[in-house]
Chains A and B, each alone.
Chain A
């Protein structure tokens, strides 16, 4: 048995540290973008770290667990899951206007 690895034996499964923007700026994929109505948002109204369903359920981890929550639109694909999960309907999807 040899301990010298051949080139291809150095390549196994793709185990890597997560990096922001792995597949480029995926925000450009969206046709709609989420907008938070801060008057309804639970952590904003209560001033406490609470709810954060949007942060928890976002599949792209672009929503921050902060007061107020913020959304990184450069990477938000516009799936709309946050609008479904928000218990007080504070998030709505708006058309993305494309500059001609």
Chain B
């Protein structure tokens, strides 16, 4: 993988993201501070101040405005990147479908964080999963080098004329965002070779033509004089879906180009595997949970269990076809979600079930919720999860309850909210 560690710089995940944005030469950055993302844009402000990055930093009063500025800047033909976390992303939500609908190649770095209430600044993937239905490409990273590398790839994917889609690069808050690791920063010349200048499909800064984006778009196609017959809403959204489906091919292509040029690869660009080929039992996870699972593979193999790992890197578009092909012969899949689709179950779990639906001998799939709000995800929890799944498979008693691992309810035996506040006087 990495043959040049002596050239590495010691960086936090946030700073790795900032260096990537510097090296792709973003023209406009608009952002609002939120923990644990803030150091990304603080670093970018430093780069601009020191003359290392020729970009306009637009200060705004909220994340909604931040993404609105990014959308406008991108529509004038500029390369645009920003960063956010948790409620910042939720406040951007209204602008997210405008970004993908306009097919603007904006990149957001998301230092993942749980959603309130109650107030928490620690990591889980709740924010990341809430935006899965708005038409963005979504990546999740496992280390700081991957954050840097995925950013470089993200711009190339987003700006590909066959794609034209925004990308969100997720990485666990604190676990990566504030932890220092060696990161190889590539030479500027090589980055420039890899990522050619942006040729945007929209450029509103060309005022020789009076044009705008997004007039009211009717349910039906219609004639617009000299522009001929234009699509209705339905055609635009069909094109968005097809572009997402088609982007999987381009994501792999860009990943392979990157691997050839820089010598670092991440599985097939869609997911990474470990101890996979001879495994009967597969742990399926994303980000920090997958990192932790790498540690338990040997422990479980020492006990005679043939366990392997699939770490999902591309969450949207969901690589369903590839996962189906990959996992069709496995016996058991244990999914650990650091998120939950409230009222149902872990999102990774039910999406994987859906992807494998209809296989003749479908693997047994069991999901667990771990690590919400920064609760440590431990080896013991993951081992317990694998054992519970195997027991349920043996007895064919599939628990329909959503099971949490790592709860500490027993530590709370004296806690009763009804009396708690009365006694404190």
Please give the residue numbers on chain A whose beta carbons come within 8 Å of chain B beta carbons, in ascending order.
6, 8-9, 11-19, 22-23
A13-B215 contact, Cβ under 8 Å, with A8-B238, A8-B239, A8-B243? no
For B216, the chain A residues whose CB sits under 8 A away are 22-23
Q: Chain B nearest CB: distance from A12 CB in Å?
A: 5
A16 B103 Cβ-Cβ under 8 A: no
Q: Would you give the 0/1 interface string for B217-257, flagging 1 where the beta carbon is closer than 8 Å to chain A?
A: 11000001111001100011011001100100000000000
A12 vs B104: C-alpha distance when bound (angstroms): 9
User: Closest approach, in angstroms, between the C-beta of A87 and any C-beta of chain B?
Assistant: 28
Chain A, Cβ-Cβ closest to B231: A11
Q: Which residues of A contact B75 (CB under 8 A)?
A: 13
B152 to chain A, nearest CB (A): 19
The answer to whether B101 touches A13 (Cβ under 8 A) is yes
Residues of B within 8 A of A23 (CB): 216, 218
**When the two chains form their complex, are residues B212 and A9 in contact, meaning their CB atoms are under 8 A apart?**
no
Q: Looking across the interface, which residue of chain A has its beta carbon closest to that of B233?
A: A14
When distances are taken between beta carbons in the complex, the residues of chain A under 8 Å from B210 are 17-18
Q: Are B212 and A13 in contact (CB under 8 A)?
A: no
A-side contacts of B236, CB under 8 Å: 11, 14
The reply to whether the CB of B201 lies closer than 8 angstroms to some CB of chain A is yes
Q: Report the Cα distance A63→B103, complex, angstroms.
A: 33
- Are A15's CB and B212's CB within 8 A? yes
5 A-B residue pairs with CB within 8 Å: A12-B164, A12-B202, A16-B213, A18-B211, A19-B225
Enumerate chain B residues within 8 angstroms of A12, measured Cβ to Cβ.
Answer: 103, 164, 201-202, 239
Which of A8, A11, A12, A13: most chain B CB closer than 10 A?
A: A13
For residue B214, CB closer than 8 A to chain A, the reply is yes
Q: Given the known inter-chain contacts A9-B162, A22-B216, A23-B216, please indicate yes or no for A15 contacting B202, CB distance below 8 A.
A: yes
Q: For window 90-105 of chain B, which residues contact chain A by CB distance below 8 Å?
A: 101-104
- Expressed in whole angstroms, the Cα–Cα distance for A17 and B208 within the complex equals 12
Interchain CB contact under 8 A, B243 and A14: no
A8 CA to B231 CA in the complex, in Å? Answer: 11
Contacts known (A8-B239, A8-B243, A23-B216); A13 close to B104, Cβ less than 8 A: yes
The answer to whether A19 touches B164, judged by C-beta atoms less than 8 angstroms apart, is no
A18 neighbours in B (Cβ, 8 Å)? 210-212, 215
Asked if B235 contacts A14 (CB within 8 A), the reply is no
Instruction: Give the top 8 A-B pairs by smallest Cβ distance, nearest first.
Output: A11-B239, A13-B102, A8-B242, A23-B216, A8-B239, A22-B215, A13-B103, A12-B103
| Bound-complex Cα distance A14 to B225 (A) | 15
Please name the residue on chain A nearest to B204 by beta carbon.
Answer: A15
Residue of A nearest to B163 (CB): A9
The smallest C-beta distance from A6 to any residue of chain B, in angstroms, reads 8
Looking at B104, B224, B226, B239, the one whose CB has the most chain A CB atoms below 10 A away is: B239
- Contact between B211 and A17 (Cβ–Cβ < 8 Å)? yes
Given the known interface contacts A15-B202, A17-B210, A17-B227, the answer about A9 and B239 at a Cβ–Cβ threshold of 8 Å is yes
Which chain B residues lie closer than 8 Å to A17 at the CB level?
209-212, 224, 226-227
Q: Which residues of A contact B104 (CB under 8 A)?
A: 13
Partner pick for A14 among B162, B217, B242, CB 8 A cutoff = B217
The interface residues of chain B lying within 8 Å CB-to-CB of A9 are 161-162, 239, 242-243, 246
Bound CA span A78–B425, Å: 57
Shortest distance between the CB of B240 and any CB in chain A (Å): 9
List of B residues within 8 angstroms of A22 by Cβ: 215-216
Whole-angstrom distance between the Cβ of A47 and the nearest chain B Cβ: 31
Q: Is the CB of A15 within 8 A of B225?
A: no
C-alpha gap A7/B356 in the complex (Å) = 30
Q: Contacts A9-B162, A22-B216, A23-B216 known; A15 to B239 CB distance under 8 Å?
A: no
Bound: A15/B214 CA distance, A: 6
Q: Is the CB of B235 within 8 A of A11?
A: yes
Q: Give the docked Cα–Cα distance between A74 and B387 (Å).
A: 71
Residues of B within 8 A of A11 (CB): 231, 235-236, 238-239
A19 to B215, CA, bound (A): 9
Bound-state Cα–Cα, A69 to B101, Å: 37
The chain B residue with its CB closest to the CB of A26 is B216
Knowing A8-B243, A11-B235, say if A16 contacts B164 (CB, 8 Å): no
Minimal beta-carbon separation of A77 from chain B (angstroms) = 13
- The answer to whether B230 touches A13, judged by C-beta atoms less than 8 angstroms apart, is no
Q: Find out whether the CB atom of A16 lies under 8 angstroms from the CB atom of B230.
A: yes
- Write the chain B residue with the least CB distance to A11: B239
